[in-house]
Amino acid sequence: MLEASRYRAHVARACASRTRCYIMKRSSDERPKLKLKASHVFRDLWELIWPRRNLFLLGLILTFINRAASLVLPGSTKFLIDDVVQKHRQDLLIPIAAAVAGAILIQALTSYTLIRLLSTSAQRLIAEMRIKVQQHIGRLPVRYYDANKTGSLVSRIMSDVEGVRNLIGTGLVDFVGGLFTAVIAFGLLVRINTALTFLALGFLLVFGLILRKAFKSIRPIFRERGKINAEVTGRLTESLAGVRVVKGFHAEEREAAVFEAGAFRLFENVRRTLFATSMIGLASTLLMGIVSITVMIAGGRLILAGKMTIGDFFAFTLYLGFMVAPVFMMVSIGTQITEAFAGLDRMHEVFEEQPEDIDPKRVVQLDRILGNVRFENVTFEYEPGQRVLRGITFEAMPGAVTALVGSSGSGKSTLIGLVAGFAKPSSGNIYIDDVNLSDVKLSSYRAQLGVVLQDNFLFDGTIKENILFGKPAASNDEVLGASAIARVDEFALKLEKGLETVVGERGVKLSGGQRQRVAIARAILADPRILILDEATSSLDTESEALIQEGLAALMSGRTTFVIAHRLSTIRSADQILVLENGVIVERGTHTQLLDYEGRYFELYTRQAGIEANRFVNPGERELADAESCEGPKERREGLGEVARDLLGFTPSPRS
């Protein structure tokens, strides 16, 4: 699932990268933050605990038994001193020792069971939460991926849920058990000496207020740590992925400096946390010292006055330790729980993002479609008042090829994004087989889409596994057939392991042309009804391109095909060519019709042909060609060089 969402994100990002059509151009820092309430966190906590309530209750019961057993030892001290030692009752010595031994055995068994049950459950919960977060992120719209770095998303999935183990694991249960022990110890202390107990309790209440304020200030620090960690991880991921660019520009030291700055930001955050927790630890140690001194003085006077026995004093001191223990536990466990709540905050931010497939209007489930695509007066704007597309109307028939041509920023990728369902039009309608695309469940529609990009993404697996990504249940014969059509077998057979060759991360072990062939084979195997080609043969040499064009012709047969073309010579056979400028279709027709019209398409085509021709023209000859091209519009075709005329398919007119 993680790999699938990464691929979908890559496809979406690549289709939208050039025009920023339907993406809100905001960074993650500029986006409005959702105000999280304590009720949200406790609601999330309840959702975590309730399905595991039986296990949690069992953990609490075992904890209560464990804590109750731990009170046997301090309780036995009173009888040991007052009865066995002072009254010389040796008959009580063995029973007291046996009771203590039994209590220790119970403590050992319950501790072992608690760790086995709760720690295992906590790790299972972490795995489930990671899956849940990943699945949710995988369903978010494209704008979320563009507003967040890949490393940041990885941190959200892998790191933010880590602290949850302290809520379901032994952390929270130990804390509750500590409070339970403190309550019982308080009752026993009151029974021994009420005044001395409430005197010690007063100090604890003051310290509790200090802790409450301290943890309130620590929680934002933990939230900031998650954000910093995500940013550092994101930049590191980018740096490692672009290692060839880094080395090509000798930027190792600059990248090291950027990472160093991020690492020290993270260190500064941890330092602030350590300072806060150390101050809490200092305060708790001072509190224990003050309480101990107070009890020592007051207890000593009570013993001298005959109002307290030595056994009562020892038992009181030990019970007091059990009542104060949760205070020290709050310093360690409280910090862990605060970190867990900070992680829940960040997880809640993710879950507040609405997935693109949750739309009450999308109720139509598409079966196998024919692939008729119709735009009716479609307008799109990614910010109010800034239209990217205006009045787009056309129809693409099954089996027909529609090519999109235009300068950079003209709206080609925006239009393709609307075809893929990455966004809804601001006005107008898009129909798929006469069904409004805005009413269609995206999962049923996109299952019938195929995409081949200029920079295709391959996973770190074998060639066969990457081809199977489009149709995991395909047979071996189907894989071989797709490989043959895409000419993958031509280079795969030369490899030692053939289709079982590992391609490396992003297909780094293959050439650009080989990666493109694998991507085309993947699309062929998927057997889509609507096919989107974004310069699908741009990475291939002339011979390979000619061979793969045959495979693409077979793939496009009977399917609706959209082609974004920069090399205009590749779309001569398109059934219709749409020329876009500033979000408007300014020309439409076949290659021959648009050349005869001598408009924008003719201008783009002849300019590109001229660039190709000039590669073979010496500087002096180029000046002569330029002089000829200035003779006037009627001489435009004659002003082209011989190579350009060949590219355009013109027949040179006889000169007098």
Q: What is the CATH number of the domain that holds 322?
A: 1.20.1560.10
Provide the domain count of the chain: 4
CATH of the domain at 471: 3.40.50.300
Q: What is the pLDDT of residue 2?
A: 41
262 CB contacts (<8 Å, ≥6 apart)? 228, 231, 232, 235, 236
Let me know whether 348 and 380 are in one domain.
no
The mean per-residue pLDDT over the stretch 548-573 comes to 76
Let me know whether 542 and 636 are in one domain.
no
Phi, psi dihedrals of residue 572, rounded to the nearest 5° = -60, -35
Q: What is the pLDDT of residue 374?
A: 92
Q: What is the pLDDT of residue 586?
A: 93
Supply the range of the domain harboring residue 331. Answer: 54-352
Q: What is the pLDDT of residue 198?
A: 86
Closest CA to 133 of 146, 119, 152: 152
Phi, psi dihedrals of residue 433, rounded to the nearest 5° = 50, 45
Q: What is the pLDDT of residue 167?
A: 65
> Which string of b and e fits 593-606 if b means at least 16 CB within 10 Å?
ebbeeeebbbebbb
Is 70 exceeded by the pLDDT of residue 139? yes
The mean per-residue pLDDT over the stretch 32-54 comes to 61
Question: Tokens for 9?
Answer: 């994100």
Let me know whether 116 and 84 are in one domain.
yes
CB 317 within 8 A of CB 291: no
Question: Tokens for 402?
Answer: 């529609």
pLDDT category, 169, cuts 50, 70, 90? low
Is 70 exceeded by the pLDDT of residue 21? no
Q: When comparing pLDDT for 45 and 40, which is higher?
A: 45
Is 50 exceeded by the pLDDT of residue 592? yes
Let me know whether 642 and 547 are in one domain.
no
The mean per-residue pLDDT over the stretch 170-190 comes to 76
Which of 97-106, 236-245, 557-566, 623-632 has the least mean pLDDT? Answer: 623-632
Residue 40 maps to a domain: no
- Of the chain, the percentage scoring pLDDT greater than 90 comes to 5
CB 218 within 8 A of CB 273: yes
Per residue, the 3-state secondary structure of 88-124, as one string, reads: CCHHHHHHHHHHHHHHHHHHHHHHHHHHHHHHHHHHH
Residue 411 maps to a domain: yes
Residue in the block written with tokens 């109750």: 68
321 CB contacts (<8 Å, ≥6 apart)? 74
Q: What is the pLDDT of residue 438?
A: 87
Is 50 exceeded by the pLDDT of residue 24? no
Residue 49 maps to a domain: no
Q: What is the pLDDT of residue 577?
A: 92
Let me know whether 246 and 311 are in one domain.
yes
Let me know whether 231 and 328 are in one domain.
yes
Residue 35 maps to a domain: no
Task: Give me the DSSP letters along 233-276.
Answer: HHHHHHHHHTHHHHHHTT-HHHHHHHHHHHHHHHHHHHHHHHHH
Phi, psi dihedrals of residue 539, rounded to the nearest 5° = -90, 10
Let me know whether 235 and 336 are in one domain.
yes
Which of 183-187, 293-297, 462-466, 625-629 has the least mean pLDDT? Answer: 625-629
CB 189 within 8 A of CB 320: yes
Residue 16 maps to a domain: no
Phi, psi dihedrals of residue 541, rounded to the nearest 5° = -75, 170
Let me know whether 251 and 292 are in one domain.
yes
Let me know whether 150 and 226 are in one domain.
yes
Q: When comparing pLDDT for 615 and 390, which is higher?
A: 390
* Residues 502-544: tens digit of each pLDDT: 888 777 888 777 888 888 888 888 888 898 887 766 556 666 6
Residue 41 maps to a domain: no
Q: What is the pLDDT of residue 376?
A: 92
Q: What is the pLDDT of residue 209?
A: 77
Residue where one domain finishes, among candidates 426, 445, 464: 445
| Averaged confidence pLDDT in the chain | 76
Residue in the block written with tokens 């408009």: 599
Closest CA to 639 of 626, 648, 650: 626
Let me know whether 439 and 469 are in one domain.
no
Residue 579 maps to a domain: no
Q: When comparing pLDDT for 36 and 139, which is higher?
A: 139
Let me know whether 328 and 434 are in one domain.
no
Residue 225 maps to a domain: yes
Q: What is the pLDDT of residue 643?
A: 41
Q: What is the pLDDT of residue 545?
A: 66
Sequence letter at residue 361: K
DSSP for residue 355: P
Residue in the block written with tokens 């005869």: 596
The mean per-residue pLDDT over the stretch 616-643 comes to 45
Let me know whether 318 and 424 are in one domain.
no
**Residue 345: how many CA atoms within 13 Å on its side-chain side?**
21
Q: What is the pLDDT of residue 225?
A: 78
Closest CA to 155 of 224, 232, 221: 232
Residue where one domain finishes, among candidates 573, 590, 610: 573
Q: What is the pLDDT of residue 430?
A: 92
Residue where one domain finishes, among candidates 420, 445, 470: 445
